[in-house]
């Protein structure tokens, strides 16, 4: 079994995101970047499946600028066997990413495709679903538990009402939740070994895909600052404020 894992380079979740002065986007220059957190869970799960003997190869892939290959190198350091970097110069929307992944999957022919449930930068939660539609493969989103059977996959999903368990055929697309596992840290020896693992680079122009944005971003603004709280003297005053000011009752 071969598992392909898609990873994305995003602003680190510990960084305070700042909007550019001209409102055209957020500041990324000299800002710490890292792997999208749910993608770390996807890599961890793929490596665990390989370590259990149920998979022979884990391939990590990313789509992005030159520096995005750092994300693949991290995946290689925690156990992926080889990497693929599809080089782009501009921001790529989920539909274009899905089409790029479709091309790579048709070439690599993996049995499973893992990725994070959504990226913390655009929060779109679309790529996995679009990819499943393009490939006509079954999908299991928001996975918090994965059990590999002979020719099927049993996946426990995080849904609004609680947990849902479904079974899908293989090949399949799986988007991973943060509660799926605890991602491991890359040790220094493994980071050094990862530098020698194969990393294939492909220019997006070679794939013959239209990557032009479908959405025009007009302006980015910071959310309004939260007002300070107040103290009330009685339950009656609280009810009045909830009714007349907050208008929630």
* 158/163 Cα distance (integer angstroms): 5
Tens digits of pLDDT across the chain (249 residues) = 999 999 999 999 988 888 888 888 888 888 899 999 999 999 999 999 999 999 999 999 999 999 999 999 999 999 999 999 999 987 889 999 999 999 999 999 999 999 999 999 888 999 999 999 999 999 999 999 999 998 899 999 988 889 999 999 999 999 999 999 999 998 899 999 998 999 999 999 999 898 888 888 888 888 888 888 888 999 999 999 899 888 888
Residue 167 tokens, joined? 């079974």
Taking the model in full, what pTM does it have?
0.84
Q: Cβ–Cβ contacts within 10 Å for residue 36, how many? A: 24
* 137/232 Cα distance (integer angstroms): 57
2-223 is classed in which CATH architecture? Answer: 3-Layer(aba) Sandwich (3.40)
Strands (E), the chain: 2-6, 9-11, 33-35, 57-64, 82-87, 112-116, 139-148, 152-159, 162-169, 172-176, 199-203
Residue for token pair 């491991």: 184
Contacts of 34 (CB under 8 A, 6+ apart): 9, 10, 11, 12, 13, 71
């Amino acid at each position: 079994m071969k598992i392909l894992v898609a990873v994305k380079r995003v602003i680190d979740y510990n960084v305070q995101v700042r909007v550019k002065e001209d409102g055209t986007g957020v500041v990324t220059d000299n800002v710490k970047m890292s792997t999208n957190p749910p993608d770390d869970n996807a890599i961890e799960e793929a490596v665990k499946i390989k370590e259990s003997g149920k998979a022979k190869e884990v391939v990590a892939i990313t789509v992005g600028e030159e520096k995005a290959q750092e994300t693949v190198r991290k995946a290689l350091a925690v156990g992926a066997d080889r990497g693929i970097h599809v080089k782009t110069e501009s921001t790529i929307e989920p539909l274009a990413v899905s089409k790029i992944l479709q091309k790579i999957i048709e070439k690599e022919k993996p049995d499973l495709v893992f990725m994070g449930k959504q990226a913390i930068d655009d929060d779109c939660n679309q790529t996995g679903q679009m990819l499943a539609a393009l490939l006509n493969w079954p999908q299991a989103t928001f996975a918090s538990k994965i059990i590999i059977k002979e020719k099927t996959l049993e996946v426990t999903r995080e849904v609004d009402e609680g947990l849902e368990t479904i079974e899908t055929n293989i090949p399949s697309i799986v988007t991973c939740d943060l509660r799926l596992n605890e991602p491991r840290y890359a040790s220094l020896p493994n980071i050094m070994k990862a530098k020698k693992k194969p990393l294939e680079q492909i220019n997006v122009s070679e794939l013959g895909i239209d990557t032009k944005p479908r959405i025009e971003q007009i302006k980015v603004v910071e959310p309004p600052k939260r007002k300070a709280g107040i103290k009330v003297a009685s339950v009656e005053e609280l009810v009045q404020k909830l009714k007349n000011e907050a208008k929630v009752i």
